Structure 1
Amino acid sequence: MTRRSLLRGLVMAGSAALTVGLIPTAGAAAGSYVALGDSYSAGVGTRAKVDSCYRSTYGYPALVASRYGLALSYQACSGARTADVAANQVGALNTGTTHVSMTIGGNDVGFADVLTECAQPGWMSDCSGAIAGGRAILRDQLPGRYDSLFSTIRSKAPNAKVVVGGYPLIFNGEDCNALTFFSPDEEASLNSATNDLDSLIQSKSTASGFTFADARGLFGGHAVCDSPEWINGLSNPIEESYHPNRDGNVGYAKIFGPALTGTPYLAPTAAPRKESTAVHTRQAADSVLRMRLDTPANLSKAAAAGVSPQEVKRLNGQLRSMDSRVVARALAALRALDRQSR
């Protein structure tokens, strides 16, 4: 496995043709609800995968449908881009559709690839270049893609209440995961790019007569490394990473539910639960080893950044130790080298 593939599992490929996925609802159906979109609408992050598109029973569309008694056609699919929604999902819409929800656009601007690049040590990554590439797509291509998709949705579901959601800010300025190397500046840049994406979603959705559901306010204080966090950090399995967990999907339901129906979303009473996002030391070490820090090319990059190649090689070797204390110290030392190199 190459270092480029380390975090590629953050978003699953979802370009295959979709089938209608119905999740049972509670009570008599009060309307026809179609949930379109990407992994954030499919419920990735809830650790309850149902099919190849994920479509979790803990995803916010399932929660909203159950609470309001809506008949749900669950079309959202992990990895979907605007083109995938247009090609594979909007066929579920018709004149009888009463409610539509969606998050879309993150994959268009390269969500997984940007995070993959930025999660590496600073001396061997080009985080700023990856973010700039995503911003170029956001500026030059995504506005037209939204115009086309939203026009199609309105034509196919002329009687529906359509709510398009934004994305929460993932980072809080801290990187508490043992095997990622996000700097505070990188996290700020990633959050800034998310703000720009949300601004575009808001302007295009409202211009189409849709409602924009802003997740940033309610998710404030619940980013990765917050307590409690509503967004997973780097997780096992990897596809759960950097997506809202079950609590985060309840948060989304509290945003989408009222926007779709005009009435508050009252979450079912449940015993307090804690999402486990801890990565065991051995798993962390194995993931860093897959970055291949000790290849000649990456050691040369370290030297160019003022980082001792010998020290990188020594610490990388310690990651293979059977002593978890040695491994933990090596991980901490590698993170310290990354901070010093910046």
Structure 2
Amino acid sequence: MSTTTRTSLAALCATALAGTLAAAPTQAVDSTDYVALGDSFSAGTGTFARTDSCYRSPYGYPVLVAGQQGLALDYQACSGADTSDVLADQLGTLSPGTAHVSMTIGGNDVGFADVLTECALPGWVSDCDGEIDDSLVTLRTQLPGRLDQVYGEIADRAPNAQVAIAGYPYLFNGQDCSFATFFSGREMSRLNAGTAELDRLIDARSGAAGFTYVEVRDDFAGHAVCDSQAWINNLTFPVDESFHPNRAGNRAYAAAITPALGVTSSTASRMATPQAEPASTPSLRAQADAVLDLQLTSDRNLRRAATAGVNPGEVTRAVAKLRSGNERVVRTGLADLQALDAELAARD
């Protein structure tokens, strides 16, 4: 075959291919198609309205956004999800026709629940600093790549979508107002600082992917755990509702995320309409039972107390009061344990 013939055939094939590509239909974007991805903060955990094993509350912010804006919600977010769960289980319905995507992710990758559980213990049985340090190592060394992978998959599967990636609020205002938790001021400060570092990473990596980052820490200012109008639950029973946005907190998320989804929020003011919050403060008896479950008077934990400079006898006497049928005595025992923890924190 001559060079001229090969050139002519190549040109013919190129022309035919171009015509085929030009004729191939493209999937139209459905302006109402909204996919909500992510973890418990997107699934509505904290609203006391679980609907399935993933939680997916009717009071979660994705439902509020969809209802206010007339969007067709595909609720994929799942409580407990990390980046690997999003990749494995949540991206299947994304397509070039997807118009809107929202997500919170990253908290579980860095051990959100494990860190809070450890730091909530009395200082003499807790390794809060060690747990936070481990979390920060994961955040700094592994999470950037994990986020890039998730964001890249979203961009590939839903190239025409407006994607809103939300951060996380500060949980604490510096006060621990529960008898059943033992957060020190320094621990709460470190936990908030970790949240800020996580948010900065999410901001940077989502921006690099071309997505819109939604900052919520300022929105939640004055509404942390123990604030008079808290948008985040304190320790609750069931425990999995703890330290998550309540219904008011989800309304705040909805108001913050809506503009980033590229929809006009003509009814955004209605998102702030008060809704009754379910009772979430555990009874004094429930708090005492939770502390008893810590087995602070076991031989091992009493040795830990002695090593930390906490009088084991005082621990034993305080715990004994928690078994009383007299509410005043129980309250005194809980207050005594809080005082021992505060004294240890002050020494440290």
1:47 aligned partner: 48
Kindly state the Cα deviation for residue 273 of structure 1 after the two structures are TM-superposed: 3.5
Kindly state the Cα deviation for residue 268 of structure 1 after the two structures are TM-superposed: 4.7
Kindly state the Cα deviation for residue 269 of structure 1 after the two structures are TM-superposed: 6.7
Q: After the TM superposition, which residues 117-136 of structure 1 pair with which residues of structure 2 at under 5 Å, given as runs? A: 117-136=118-137
Q: Judging changes above 3 Å, is the alpha-carbon distance between structure 1 residues 292 and 269 closer, same or farther for their aligned structure 2 residues?
A: closer
Unaligned ranges ≥5, structure 2:
1-29
1:338 aligned partner: 341
Aligned counterparts of 2:264 and 2:295: Cα–Cα separation in 1: 52
2:183 aligned partner: 182
Unaligned ranges ≥5, structure 1:
1-28
Aligned counterparts of 1:245 and 1:139: Cα–Cα separation in 2: 29
Counterpart residue type for residue 285 of structure 2: R
1:102 aligned partner: 103
2:145 aligned partner: 144
Kindly state the Cα deviation for residue 337 of structure 1 after the two structures are TM-superposed: 0.4
Q: Deviations over 1:280-308 (max 9, x none)?
A: 11100110011110011110111111111
Counterpart residue type for residue 303 of structure 2: S
In structure 1, which of residues 302, 307, 310 is the aligned counterpart of residue 310 of structure 2? 307
Aligned counterparts of 2:138 and 2:272: Cα–Cα separation in 1: 42
Identity among equivalent positions (%) equals 54
Aligned counterparts of 2:313 and 2:219: Cα–Cα separation in 1: 46
1:261 aligned partner: 262
Q: How many residues align?
A: 314
Q: Judging changes above 3 Å, is the alpha-carbon distance between structure 1 residues 270 and 147 closer, same or farther for their aligned structure 2 residues?
A: closer
Using structure 2 for the length normalisation, give the TM-score. Answer: 0.88
Kindly state the Cα deviation for residue 51 of structure 1 after the two structures are TM-superposed: 0.5
2:26 aligned partner: none
Name the Cα RMSD after superposition. 1.2
Are the counterparts in 2 of residues 42 and 78 from structure 1 also a CA contact under 8 Å? yes
Q: What is the SS of the residue equivalent to 2:38?
A: coil
Counterpart residue type for residue 230 of structure 1: W
Q: Judging changes above 3 Å, is the alpha-carbon distance between structure 1 residues 81 and 250 closer, same or farther for their aligned structure 2 residues?
A: same
Are the counterparts in 2 of residues 34 and 75 from structure 1 also a CA contact under 8 Å? yes
1:224 aligned partner: 225
Runs of 4+ with >2 A deviation: 261-277
In the alignment, is residue 82 of structure 1 matched against residue 78 of structure 2? Answer: no
Kindly state the Cα deviation for residue 322 of structure 1 after the two structures are TM-superposed: 1.1
Counterpart residue type for residue 316 of structure 1: V
Q: What is the SS of the residue equivalent to 1:163?
A: strand
Q: Deviations over 1:235-291 (max 9, x none)?
A: 111111000000000000010111113433232574564553322111001100111
Q: What is the SS of the residue equivalent to 1:138?
A: helix
Counterpart residue type for residue 246 of structure 2: N
In the alignment, is residue 164 of structure 1 matched against residue 165 of structure 2? Answer: yes
Q: After the TM superposition, which residues 189-200 of structure 1 pair with which residues of structure 2 at under 5 Å, given as runs? A: 189-200=190-201
In structure 1, which of residues 276, 279, 286 is the aligned counterpart of residue 279 of structure 2? 276
Aligned counterparts of 2:254 and 2:273: Cα–Cα separation in 1: 15
Q: Deviations over 1:70-113 (max 9, x none)?
A: 00000000000000000000011111110000000000000000
Q: What is the SS of the residue equivalent to 1:288?
A: helix
Kindly state the Cα deviation for residue 187 of structure 1 after the two structures are TM-superposed: 0.3
Are the counterparts in 2 of residues 30 and 68 from structure 1 also a CA contact under 8 Å? no
